[in-house]
C-alpha cells in the first residue's frame, strides 16, 4: 500500500525558481565552519513580522525545530506547503505582538526551505548533495548572527525556540551574551544525550539504507529516498508524543475496515504514522534531515568551554526554561539542568498529554509564558 501523499519526486525541498511565498533572502558571502572548511555564498531565507523601531531594541528571534522553517505563522499557499507551525503566537494582539515587536525567523543553515543546504546549488551549479559539509548548531547560530547584522539588529530583546530551536536559543545566550536580553528555551537541552543520539542513529540509517538515497546524490534521479525518510519520521514521531496520548487516542483499534490480525491491514496508530511520513516527504529533503539531525547530535554548549556548567555561567540574559511534563525525548530533568546552571533562570513546566510536541500544541500555556517574559522588567 502507498503511504505517501504526493507524486514521486526526489525531494520536498524548496528550490530556486519555486514560488518564494513570504520568504525574503539575503546573501551572506562565505562562512567558515566550526569543523573546518568554508561554505561559499551562503544565502538565508527568512520572514519578518512587524517593524524594527528606530532604537533597534524591539527585535525577537524565533527559532524553528528540526522539520520547521521560517514560516512561523501564515496560511499554506504557493511556496508554503503547510501553514505556519506556531500559528496563534505571532500577530497583532498575540503573545508576540507585531504592533510592538519586530519578529524574525530564518530557515536554518543546512535546511531545505530557502537557506543554503544540501539541495541548494553549489558553485558548479549542481546540488551540493553528498558534498555538503558537516555543520553544527554553533555554525547555524553564526549564520543567524550574520543575518542579524544585515538587518541592523545589534541585540535581541528575546530569542526563543523549542527542541532544536531551543538548542540555538541557548547557544545564542552562551556564545553572544552581549547580544541577548532574554531567552526562552522550550523542551530542549544543553547537550544531546546518549538516548537522543541513539534514537537519531536509527533515523539516519533508515535514510542512508534506502536504495534511492544514492549516497546523497539523488536530485537528478527519477526518485529520491522517500521510503527511508518516511521510516525516519515514523521513528521520530513516536518519540515526539507520549505513550498515554497514543494509547488513549488509538489503543488497539484497526484502521477503518482494515484487518491487522493476520497482517492484511493496519492498526490505527500505524495509519497515523504513515500519514505523517507521507506529509514530511512532500515538504522536506532527506539530506537536510540528515544534516540537521547530525547537527543536533553535535549539540553541547560545554564543548571547548570547560564543560556545560562553565558554559551556562557565561549567560547574562534573563532565561526562562520551559519543560513539558510528559516529554520523553527531552525530559524535564534536562530543562532543570539548564535552569540550575544559568544564574537567575526560572523553570516553568507545561502540563500536557502530548509529550514533546506539547511545546507546539499547548499554545495557551506557552503564550502565557512568553507574555510574562515580555512584560517583566529587565
Q: Is 80 a catalytic residue?
A: no
Q: Is 163 a catalytic residue?
A: yes
Alpha carbons 46 and 295: distance in angstroms, whole number: 20
Alpha carbons 297 and 194: distance in angstroms, whole number: 9
Question: Which residue in the list 327, 339, 352, 357 is annotated as catalytic?
Answer: 327
Q: Is 71 a catalytic residue?
A: no
User: Which pairs from 27-31 meet CB under 8 Å and 24+ separation?
Assistant: 28/143, 28/146, 28/147, 28/150, 31/109, 31/139, 31/142, 31/143, 31/146
Contact criterion met (CB below 8 Å) for 44 and 64: no
Q: How far is the CA of 186 from the CAs of 34, 209, 345, 354, 366, in angstroms?
A: 25, 33, 13, 14, 9
Closest to 3 measured CA to CA, from 284, 273, 249, 346:
273
Question: Which residue in the list 71, 176, 299, 356 is annotated as catalytic?
Answer: 356
Question: Which residue in the list 11, 120, 163, 288 is annotated as catalytic?
Answer: 163
Torsion of CA 249, 250, 251, 257, to 10 degrees: 150
What residues are labeled active site?
Answer: 163, 327, 356
Amino acid at each position: 500500500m502507498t503511504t505517501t501523499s504526493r507524486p514521486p519526486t526526489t525531494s520536498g525541498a524548496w528550490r530556486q525558481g519555486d514560488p518564494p511565498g513570504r520568504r525574503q533572502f539575503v546573501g551572506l558571502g562565505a562562512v567558515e565552519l566550526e569543523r573546518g572548511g568554508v561554505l561559499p555564498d551562503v544565502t538565508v531565507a527568512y520572514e519578518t513580522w512587524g517593524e524594527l523601531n528606530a532604537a533597534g531594541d524591539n527585535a525577537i528571534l524565533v527559532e524553528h525545530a528540526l522539520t520547521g522553517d521560517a514560516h512561523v505563522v501564515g496560511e499554506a499557499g504557493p511556496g508554503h506547503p503547510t501553514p505556519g507551525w506556531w500559528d496563534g503566537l505571532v500577530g497583532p494582539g498575540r503573545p508576540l505582538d507585531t504592533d510592538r515587536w519586530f519578529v524574525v525567523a530564518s530557515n536554518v543553515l543546512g535546511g531545505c526551505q530557502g537557506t543554503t543546504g544540501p539541495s541548494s546549488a553549489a558553485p558548479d551549479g549542481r546540488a551540493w548533495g553528498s558534498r555538503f559539509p558537516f555543520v553544527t548548531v554553533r555554525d547555524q547560530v553564526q549564520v543567524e548572527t550574520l543575518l542579524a547584522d544585515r538587518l541592523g539588529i545589534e541585540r535581541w530583546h528575546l530569542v526563543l525556540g523549542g527542541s532544536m530551536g531551543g538548542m540555538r536559543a541557548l547557544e545564542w545566550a552562551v556564545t553572544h551574551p552581549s547580544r541577548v536580553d532574554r531567552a526562552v528555551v522550550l523542551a530542549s537541552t544543553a547537550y544531546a544525550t546518549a538516548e537522543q543520539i541513539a534514537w537519531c542513529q536509527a533515523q539516519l540509517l533508515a535514510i542512508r539504507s534506502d536504495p534511492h538515497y544514492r549516497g546523497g546524490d539523488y536530485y537528478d534521479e527519477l526518485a529520491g529516498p522517500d521510503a527511508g525518510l518516511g521510516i525516519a519520521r515514523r521513528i521520530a514521531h513516536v518519540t515526539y508524543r507520549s505513550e498515554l496520548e497514543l494509547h488513549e487516542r488509538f489503543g488497539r483499534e484497526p484502521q477503518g475496515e482494515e484487518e491487522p490480525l493476520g497482517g492484511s491491514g493496519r492498526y490505527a496508530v500505524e495509519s497515523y504514522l504513515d500519514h505523517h511520513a507521507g506529509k514530511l516527504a512532500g515538504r522536506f529533503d532527506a539530506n537536510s534531515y540528515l544534516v540537521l539531525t547530525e547537527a543536533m547530535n553535535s549539540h553541547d554548549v560545554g564543548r571547548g568551554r570547560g564543560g556545560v556548567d562553565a558554559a551556562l555561567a557565561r549567560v547574562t540574559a534573563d532565561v526562562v526554561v520551559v519543560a513539558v511534563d510528559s516529554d520523553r525525548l527531552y525530559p524535564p530533568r534536562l530543562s532543570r539542568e539548564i535552569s540550575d546552571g544559568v544564574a537567575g533562570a526560572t523553570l516553568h513546566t507545561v502540563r500536557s498529554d502530548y509529550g514533546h510536541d506539547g511545546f507546539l500544541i499547548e499554545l495557551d500555556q506557552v503564550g502565557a509564558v512568553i507574555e510574562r517574559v515580555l512584560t517583566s522588567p529587565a
